Structure 1
């Protein structure tokens, strides 16, 4: 695992935004387009604001989510709402966004629609930005969920699956492990000493069902981006 450690969150936000923009520019130069998969939560919000100001041809970038809560896009729990408010503005307003929440009544019923929509996203993904929970989950691959075996199965036939965590609210839509790994560059974005402790626990063990982030770290050249 490559480590990019920054002295502060502000330094991380600006440095990481510039790093992502460089990868997207390379993708556009090489293939005419680029894809960016982002995660929700509070951690990336400051970095998204910096990224939205980066100078590149955003009209050739497709942005989507690693996972989403099955709530309306106007709900405060929606990752789409957060991304629209913090990233899809300024220069990045020209990017195309592919959301995961659709009109289906349930996440389980919504999988087919998400699978259809992923055709709009260039793969392999150019950049995937993952977070990690205190329990070692990433995207919505929760160790507590009944669906974790499907999510970590590299032969699972669909890029998305519906997940119901037992330790967090809302059904979720999540990219599968196999879909996440189909990426040119995977970043793990963490801040705070507590998350560093959790990461060290993940690195020290092997049970992927206990801490699903291990499944990514084991199979990909992940770059850790961290600040205290």
Structure 2
């Protein structure tokens, strides 16, 4: 698949442009069905984007549901929690009125009971998503599609919506939306920053095994165009 490349000179300009695009997606979703639905990624990269989106007053945030594309299986009191990042940066100001659905469902492991509980929670999110924002690691993972993941095949192919996954490079056990569920969206964004990740992306766009660089599953699919937002 050919990806649409949006390149910016600074992180601030990228954050504002991505926030405007996602705001347009949410407004359109609200106008169409009376509700907006957004899935975002964690990590350090999206912080400025979250802060820019949170300031958008053109969105009727009371009608928006926010969730994560994936999560470490930790409580939001942990500084490793993606939910904590979302609450501290995105669910502020006007966006504080949005409904947030976390993926962590309690307990020490994402076992069958925990995943069932998380699936029940995310079933309340309007489908399809209006926008999904993915990140990418330097190992070629996106969401929690990690090289060596014990449930990678299921994460890339099952209807889901969620699976638990463990991988050598993932740290804690994780829960992730499956790829088919993430592709059920009105807009799909890949947000990366820095020259190192640009080189990783170029490598991922080459033909090669998906299990080595799982982001290839996103880049090679033909269901939903990928809109890249990148800055040095």
1:135 equivalent in structure 2: 139
Q: What corresponds to 1:86 in structure 2?
A: 89
Matched, 1:172 2:169: no
**What is the CA–CA distance in structure 1 between the aligned matches of 2:129 and 2:166, rounded to whole Å?**
25
Determine helix, strand or coil for the equivalent of 2:38: strand
What is the deviation of 1:168? 2.8
CA offsets, 1:20-64, max 9 Å, x none? 111111111111111000000000001101110001100111000
SS at match of 1:151: helix
Structure-2 residue corresponding to 1:118: 122
Kindly report structure 1 stretches of 4+ aligned residues shifted beyond 6 Å: none
Who is 1:146 aligned against? 150
Which aligned pairs between 1:25-174 and structure 2 lie closer than 5 A? Answer: 25-55=27-57, 56-108=59-111, 109-153=113-157, 156-174=158-176
Query: 2:195: which partner in 1?
Result: 193
CA distance in structure 1 between the aligned counterparts of 2:42 and 2:212, rounded to whole angstroms: 22
The secondary structure found in structure 2 opposite 1:128 is strand
Corresponding residue SS for 1:114: helix
Unaligned runs of 5+ in 1: none
1:188-214 deviation digits (Å, cap 9, x = unpaired): 000001111000000012321111111
Structure 1 CA distance for aligned equivalents of residues 193 and 93 of structure 2: 25
Does the aligned pair in 1 maintain the 2:159–2:178 contact within 8 Å?
no
Unaligned runs of 5+ in 2: none
8 A contact 2:25–2:186 mirrored in 1: no
Whole-Å separation in 1 of the counterparts to 2:48 and 2:159: 35
Give the TM-score normalised by the residue count of structure 1. Answer: 0.96
Partner in structure 1 of residue 205 of structure 2:
203
The 8 Å contact of residues 151 and 166 in structure 2, kept in 1 or not, is answered as: yes
Length, aligned pairs only:
226
Deviates more, 1:210-219 or 1:51-60: 210-219
Output the CA distance in 1 between the equivalents of 2:85 and 2:116.
24
**Matches of 1:152 and 1:168 in 2, distance apart?**
16
What TM-score comes out, normalization by structure 2 length?
A: 0.95
Q: CA deviation at 1:182?
A: 1.1
Instruction: Give SS of 1:152's match.
Output: helix
2:70–2:144: 8 Å Cα contact kept in structure 1?
yes
